[in-house]
Chain A
Amino acid sequence: DTGVSQDPRHKITKRGQNVTFRCDPISEHNRLYWYRQTLGQGPEFLTYFQNEAQLEKSRLLSDRFSAERPKGSFSTLEIQRTEQGDSAMYLCASSTRTSGRANEQFFGPGTRLTVL
């Protein structure tokens, strides 16, 4: 399977714990995006990497959220001191310059986070 993969698919945690999610983009894709999707809403952009550079992070929801892409391949999204309001689906997407001017983004299946 050469699509975008995310791990884990489901995560249940207690309030106050830290969680980390991983995204593996399509191998030749240099752009990687993180979104949050809550029930009944569309994806909400969080942050974006081009290769290993994080080019946009002002839309991360709070300073409890951070993301890395150290070698320009896989990425991790960490949420510290989780709150119940963090419960959502976290989506990763990737794209490449050869996606064309429309910049088609390919989405992974998401990680569903439940904070108890």
Chain B
Amino acid sequence: GEDVEQSLFLSVREGDSSVINCTYTDSSSTYLYWYKQEPGAGLQLLTYIFSNMDMKQDQRLTVLLNKKDKHLSLRIADTQTGDSAIYFCAERSSGGSYIPTFGRGTSLIVHP
């Protein structure tokens, strides 16, 4: 079955880069997503990458995909205290019911 794994916690100093890692098992994964969830709020899509891409950059965010190893990472440059949140990795296959499978989330703590 599908499985998405993430480390549970990451602590960084303000201004440093954060790297959040994710591994998945479904070799037919076509779309890979990063969502952000702030306390008491729903999930917000930050970025996504197609499986035929290696990298995608969007302002302070860089997504790297190693399809061979089924490894996805999210790098946040110049991390700010406002980036403190839970970050979820998710994957889905093309077509079908458009339902992503989510990881358990990585809690990012940014301290001054």
Contact = CB atoms under 8 A, between A and B. Distances in A.
Interface in A36-83: 40-45, 48, 55-56
A88 to B, nearest CB: 14
A43 B42 CA distance: 10
A95 interface: yes
Given A40-B104, A42-B103, A42-B105, A105 B45 contact: yes
Contact of A43 (B31, B98, B102): B102
Interface residues of B, number: 25
Q: How large is the interface on A (under 10, 10 to 19, 20 to 34, 35 or more residues)?
A: 20 to 34
Contacts of B104: 40-42
Contact of B98 (A42, A44, A103): A103
6 contacts: A40-B8, A42-B88, A43-B102, A95-B98, A107-B44, A109-B41
Interface of B: 4, 8, 31, 33, 40-45, 48, 50, 88, 90, 92, 94, 97-105
